[in-house]
Amino acid sequence: MIGNFPYIAAIIFIGLGIYTLMFKKNLIKIAIGVVLIQNGVNLFLITLGYIKGAVAPIYTYAPPGQAMVLPTPQALTLTSIVIGVATTALILSVAMMIYKHYGTLDIDQVRRLKG
């Protein structure tokens, strides 16, 4: 069971993020939902590349036949983190501008005030 914990945690993160996106009306909570989904995907990518007992691929003095951790998921995750930070900043800045313009963060009220 403990070997599957990262996969279960990733599913929980993604599930909570999707729940937040579907059922919450506050823009800040929606931004938190997007971050939860991003973190769940990042955890899933890192878990896919993990090999028990393997060494980091930058370790050049590994004995012959030593298994190495896959570097591709790590590189994808680093890229995803950078993109996630930019996405989160954009979402929060749009939420801030909506709050300044409409005076609320509730999606339903913004839709009513828009027309």
Per-residue pLDDT of the chain (115 residues; tens, 9 = 90+): 677 899 999 999 999 999 999 999 999 999 999 999 999 999 999 998 888 888 777 766 777 777 888 888 888 999 999 999 999 999 999 999 999 999 999 998 988 887 6
Return the amino acid letter for 39: N
Which one, of 12, 18, 52, lies nearest residue 33 by Cα? Answer: 18
Distance set, CA 93 to CA 67, 101, 113 (Å)? 44, 12, 20
pTM of the predicted structure, to 2 decimals = 0.85
Quick check: helix, strand or coil at residue 67?
coil
- Report the amino acid identity of residue 56: A
- Dist CA 102 CA 113 (whole Å): 7
CA 65, 71, 73 angle in degrees (round to 5)?
Answer: 130
Closest by CA position to 98, among listed 21, 25, 22: 25
What domains can be seen in the chain, in order of their start residue?
2-114 (1.10.287.3510)
